[in-house]
Structure 1
Amino acid sequence: MTLMRSALILGLLSAVGPFAIDMYLPAMPTIAAGLDADVATVQLTLTAYFVAFGIAQLFYGPWADQVGRKIPLYVGLGIFIAGSIGCAVAPSIGALIAFRALQGIGGAVLMVVPRAVIRDMHTGAAATKLMAMVMLVISVSPMLAPLVGSGVIAVADWRVIFWLLCLAAGLSLGMTAMVLPETLAPAARVKVNLRNLMKGAKVLLTDRVFMGLTLIGGFGFASFMVFIASASFVYSGQFGLSPTGFSVAFAINAIGFFAASQAAGPLGERLGVLPVMRGAVIGFAAFSMLLLVVCLAGFVSLPVVIIGLFFANACLGLIIPTTMVMALDPHGDIAGLASSLGGTLQMLTGGLMVVVTGAFFDGTATPMVGAIALCAVIALGIALWTFAAMGRTASA
């Protein structure tokens, strides 16, 4: 496949999972009212999705290393469809949380397998470029999905959102069967057994660089999860935006992330991956802390929050695709396991941060910004520790 065609196919597959998050964000206040649930309980529908999404990756990665990339996609998409149907007919908030977890179990395959496919085909700067192109396709999600969701709830019940997700997964299933080639040759497949899993996991968990890069991306992603879980309540509650207005504000914040992600590959080729990463992590922490100081000083307004998050997320757009590629590069022989373990650690980190910071969330911007800044500072600390190890490895 050509690079552009690969990016389009993998991007469309990868976008289904984010659509399952972004499309129903404008409906969260409506869901809370319709199912007689409070804000914290509705936020658990996101946490359940992310935690299940993270843990399930541990299964899909090794399985994809053994049987190839396509069979796990068929199974995962089938589970996602079943979860979407369950969400559409859920009679209570508890049932919705459970079916969102089932959705996450299925959707996890769309995080693991596309990244492993990229590693099958490319390494280094070429892989970063393809990952950035995939993210360009995915970038449609945070800009289009909330608008679609707000349009749906303007004319129909929020449950229709999940029927549309079911349709999107069905189309992805057809595309996998007819368009996506198998990229893992039979000779390169690794038999799944406990010994191999333990051996591979030990290699990854004791690799300071792999763990450091994974957690840098994990806390970066956690900040985005905190924003996703809180933004609809902040923008509609504190700032009085309509569902459509929230969708536009959310899209502006997401544009910074995905626009910057397109520069990750070219900047890495021109300046070196490590300098780009170092500057991005420092920038992410600096912009997040600056926004927090402004909010604590009492200058909280919608433009201030949007602009501050735009620049912080732009730095994040350089961090996440680069850490993904750098973490997988030395582990091509266990790319599926590395992808799944890395994804699991990142999702669990994000889910934990949403739960921990959710206890302090009061529906206003300052706690949300504070949680994002905390994630950024932790990511910076881990980055300094990891870059030191990478420097010693390079000089050895």
Structure 2
Amino acid sequence: MSSFARIALVLGLLAAIGPFAIDMYLPALPTVAENLHASIAHAQATLMAFFFGFGVTQIIYGPVSDMVGRKPPLYFGLGVFILGSIGCSLAPSIDWLIGLRFIQGIGAAAMMVMPRAVIRDLHTGVEATRLMSLVMLVFSVSPILAPLIGSALIVPFGWRAVFVAVTIAALLGLLLTAFTLQETRPPAERISADLGTVLSQYWLLLRDRHFLGVTFIGALGMSSFFTFLANSSFVYIDHFGMTPTLYSLAFSVNAVGFIGASQFSAKLGLRFGMGRVVLGAVIAYAVSAAVLFAVVFGGFYNLAVLMVLLFVTFAFLGLVIPTSMVLSLERHGPIAGMASALGGTLQMATGAATIAISSLFFDGSALPMVTIIAICAGGAFILARLTLTDKEIAAPATS
């Protein structure tokens, strides 16, 4: 195996641990609500708590990794994640589960920041997009297989078995970090920063119009997928009468479209340039989401139509996410950890807020879910037009 493929495999598996804890859990949401005598909103809050911890603490991991290297924060995050997962498996009530999911999210945040920072340490441009796409290919094991594994565990063993499984996954991640991942931030490249320096660098990023614009293009795209995560099990299982196993299969179909499309991002970036790929993908994503909304709003749909339109929408989103991630870090190599962390925090916070909003309007049908997906897609399109310059869109790719 080439070193390029090996690093993609390791980073992809590490990045998949946090989403694995989300995707395995999705088929269990209705069961958790019933078992812990909780409302649908409280069950969804266990997801929102994870996203909140997952998002907010990335902003801490980033500067720490720029100062001490990429591996020490990974060890810490994996340890916290393991403790949180064990706690979730023993949670006696919905309130305990919400709190422990927050702790689990704090640990998972390290596995989101570090892979992106490592990619930026090693590559830029099309090569970075190529590595990001390969990482996402490995990362796809989570949305494709995790719901199936989750439903296979939930039926015979109950929802708590999901957290035993993610504890084992995190232990594997700990071994991978220790024995196969090389440190990509050598001492000579580390920054010596106090709180004031860290805050000034974050302020620099927050004043960077391009960084914020591209970051929120990805954030709105991810938020539309998070909306699907929070609502799809109730729509598919409760509204359409699917079993947890059939729901897992239906969920995996969307993941295949998302990941399959993402593998074309580097080739398209090489041919047309990264800015043009982002803009074209966002336009297609927004048009598809608008069609999805119109069909559902008009009542001209059934389960098959809903699944096909969601597949197409998320396939286009699969081109948006890796390209926008690479563009957001392109100009900030010396502080890649901080840029990755702030971008991740803003994206996860947007996702958590979107889940909270969707839970307020959820009525058991597909309409609130697809409405928010369409709004996110429209917002991403507007941001793309405002952020990407004519020069950026017209420029050929560079490696």
| TM-score with structure 2 setting the length | 0.97
Give the number of equivalent residue pairs. Answer: 394
CA–CA distance in 1 between the matches of 2:147 and 2:304? 19
Question: Where in structure 2 are there 5+ consecutive unaligned residues?
Answer: none
Give the C-alpha shift of residue 175 in structure 1.
1.1
Question: 1:1-396 counterparts in 2 under 5 A?
Answer: 2-388=3-389, 391=392
- Taking the aligned partners of 2:45 and 2:299, their CA distance within structure 1 comes to 30
Q: Cα distance, 1:390 vs. partner?
A: 6.2
Q: For 1:148-169, what per-residue CA distance to the aligned partner results, in whole angstroms no more than 9, with x for missing partners?
A: 0000011112101101111110
Amino acid at match of 1:217: G
Q: 1:177 to 1:357 in 2, by over 3 A?
A: same
Unaligned runs of 5+ in 1: none
**Range with greater deviation from structure 2 (92-101 or 1-10):** 1-10
Task: Compute the displacement of 1:43 (Å).
Answer: 0.4
Per the TM alignment, residue 125 of structure 1 is displaced from its structure 2 partner at its CA by 0.4
Write the distance in 2 (CA, Å) between the matches of 1:121 and 1:373.
Answer: 36
Do the aligned residues in 2 keep the contact of 1:209 with 1:390 (CA within 8 Å)? no
Amino acid of the residue matched to residue 54 of structure 1?
A: G
Q: Using the alignment, how far apart are the partners of 2:279 and 2:393 within structure 1?
A: 16
- 1:389 shift after superposition: 7.7
Question: Residue type matched to 1:28 in 2?
Answer: L
- Output one character per residue of 1:278-307: Cα deviation in whole Å (capped at 9) or x when no partner: 111011110011011011111131111111
TM-score, length of structure 1 as denominator length? 0.98
Distance 2:394 2:13 in 1: 37
Q: Between the two proteins, what is the percent identity of the paired residues?
A: 52
| 3-state SS, counterpart of residue 158 of structure 1 | coil
- Amino acid paired to 2:84: G
Q: Secondary structure at the match of 1:266?
A: helix
**Maintained 8 Å contact 2:13/2:139:** yes
The CA deviation at 1:367 is 1.0
- Alpha carbon RMSD of aligned pairs, Å? 1.3
SS of residue in 2 equivalent to 1:330: coil
Are 1:60 and 1:340, in contact at CA under 8 Å, matched by a contact in 2?
Answer: yes
The more displaced of 196-205 and 147-156 is: 196-205
CA distance 1:390–1:103, change in 2 (3 Å): farther
Give the Cα–Cα distance (whole angstroms) in 2 for the partners of residues 390 and 359 of structure 1: 42
**Which AA in structure 2 matches 1:305?**
L
How far apart, in 1, do the equivalents of 2:392 and 2:281 lie? 18
After the TM superposition, list the runs of 4 or more consecutive aligned residues in structure 1 that deviate by more than 2 angstroms.
388-394
The one-letter amino acid of 1:19's match is: F
Shift of 1:391: 4.9
> SS at the partner of 2:350?
helix
Listed one character per residue, the Cα deviations across residues 93-121 of structure 1 (whole Å, up to 9, x for unaligned) are 00000000000000000000011011111
- CA deviation profile, 1:191-245 (whole Å, cap 9, x unmatched): 2312211221122111111000000000000000000000000000111100000
Contact preservation (8 Å) 2:227, 2:354: yes
After TM superposition, give the deviation of residue 392 of structure 1 in Å: 10
The amino acid of 2:284's aligned partner reads G
Amino acid at match of 2:104: Q
- Is the contact between residue 300 and residue 365 of structure 1 (CA under 8 Å) also seen in structure 2? no
Show CA shifts across 1:45-76 (max 9, x none).
11100011011101100000011011100000
